[in-house]
Copies of this chain bind each other. A is one copy, B any other.
Amino acid sequence: MMEDIFESSDSHRGAFDLPYAETVVFPGAFPLERGGFLQDVTALYETYGKLNENRDNAVLICHALTGDSHVARHNMQDHPGWWEILVGPGKSIDTNRYFVVCMNNLGSCRGTTGPASINPATQEPYGADFPVVTMEDSVNLQKMLMEHLGIKQFLAVVGGSVGGMMTLIWSARYPDLLRGAVTLATSPCLTSQALAFDIVGRNAITCDPDFQRGQYYDKNPPKVGLSIARMLGHITYLSRESMMRKFDVDRSAARPMQTPFEIDFSVGSYLAYQSSRFNDRFDANSYIALTRACDLMDFGNSVEEIAEKLAPSTCRWLVMSFSSDWLLPPFQSEMIVDALISQKKQVSYCEIQSDAGHDAFLLPNQLSTYGGLMEKFLTNLYETRPGIEKKDIQESHCVVDVHDMPCSGDSGVLSDDYGRLYDGRIDYESILELIPQHASVLDLGCGNGDLLKRLRQRSTKSRLMGVELSERAIQKCVARGLDVLHKDINHGLQAFHDRQFEYVVLSRTLQTVMDVECVIEEMLRVGRRGIVSFPNSAYLPWRTSLYRDGRMPKIGCDEDRNWYDTKDVRFLTIADFHSFCEKKGYSVLQQITLDTLKGCRVYQNPNDCATMAIVVLSR
């Protein structure tokens, strides 16, 4: 039982127990962003897999606040790493394919130069003399390491939490040196709440009498202060739900241990135990240096500010957040995504449903989602490397498709379950016909990306993007190399600028939307033209069924669905839609009407004879 609750993602060993780590010393002055410099900086790092001949298969992993270079084991005898579940041969970040690099951050106590390192000027540990370092400084050091390792360009830079902050900096500062950026559970700038927790933690350390203004290396370290800070941090890494699961069963169970801290409650014992382990492997001055670097990260506090910072970025993006992360919450990842959208960058986004809190990105619970997305994103980058023998893009997507699970069932209002009615998908053919070859297209409720895939096959240049609610459908889109955003279109398309796309498509989705007026208004703001397709309730056999039998027909939806369980909530006729457009002042530019049951176009009396209309609109 004790083992059980004490188990955590924090599977680190004692300091410097890293037999496969390598170090490089960069002689001379290393200038720092906030002024001053460090002399003869040491970078400690580990690598996995092999750099290929083209030197283009390297993946840089940036670790979180108190992490280190040991991301995975090097062999079965080695200790497991902090991202063991994700990194290794055949895993999502496949070390058989990629050359994986992970460097310990500047200011840490895990091998790279930090406050406990010897200051060459004094031959004493830096202690309080260690200068203020930033995330940018760590990125600069990684860049030097990259050159040292002979890497031409990173296939991707990957980072969760603080590591995600570094990924942001990489893309802005060295845009040509990475082709992909993956962030998990990150933030452009800590919320005031998260910042406040860091500050209280530092106060606990610096006011511990043992702290001695940071000059404690020849004395007792400030264990109490560091413990308080770590306990506090630990609470913020978990969620309320995960703490309930862990501790509610035996809330009042004291666990005997040697500690100056309260252990009357099981959660108290846990925090006492975790903080004691943390003291074994971490240095208080490093904790101060690293949390301060994190707090100083200021990549903007509004979409506009972040967009300005990200303007130089040229890579493709995969951004992931976790629904129960209250430390670096999903809305902050969404701000990053919205900033990327406004800068017309290529980005996919998924808010992964999880109740594991901030630590979710280190845990196996949602691995199939975040690991799956990561794997598909990297695979796609790998298979589209410039300079390698060009495969036909269609082929390349087919290869990736093989890895995918079938997509059905769990998809929420925007997903595609009209399979039966629309078999053969003649509506896609019609929509394709209505869109010029190289036009930019936003597909609202894009499902698995079937329409976007066809558009991509027609033109590799056009800017294409999908919006979708289903995690599984998003995985499918990412596997196909498409950009897709996890958003609910009912809450508007605020992220998109006016006229950002030539076409915005709402294909077979209008009838599932509650706020029809808002969604259509928004699509015609964001797109120069909108294409809306919907089932026509006036189709004669359907309306006759109601008229004759007094029973609701199954209008336009899957045959298994009834009036009480259809996902459709809006029922309209083609004539209704036209008068809606007239009332709103929208121009109907073109219309294609179909009998999808017969699989043919309808040219006469569409309001009577068509099961579906596809209408091109503009304001």
Contacts and interface: CB of A to CB of B under 8 A. Distances in A.
B271 A200 contact: yes
A547 B547 contact: yes
Nearest to A239: B193
B550 A243 contact: no
B572 A563 contact: yes
Contacts of A551: 538, 573, 575-576, 579
Interface residues of A, number: 71
Contacts of A428: none
B517 A564 contact: yes
B235 A193 contact: yes
A248 interface: yes
Contact of A326 (B240, B251, B516): B240
A193 to B, nearest CB: 5
A203 B231 contact: yes
A470 B244 CA distance: 31
A206 interface: yes
Copies in the complex: 2
A564 B571 contact: no
A232 B574 CA distance: 60
Contact of A203 (B197, B209, B228): B228
A490 interface: no
Given A547-B546, A570-B563, A261 B203 contact: yes
A163 to B, nearest CB: 22
B546 A231 contact: no
Given A200-B228, A262-B202, A267-B196, A537 B565 contact: no
Given A195-B267, A260-B207, A573 B547 contact: no
Contacts of A193: 235, 238, 240, 243-244
A158 B550 CA distance: 56
B247 A192 contact: yes
Most interface-central of A268, A537, A550 (chain B CB within 10 A): A550
11 contacts: A191-B243, A193-B238, A195-B267, A196-B268, A199-B261, A514-B569, A544-B547, A550-B573, A551-B573, A551-B579, A552-B572
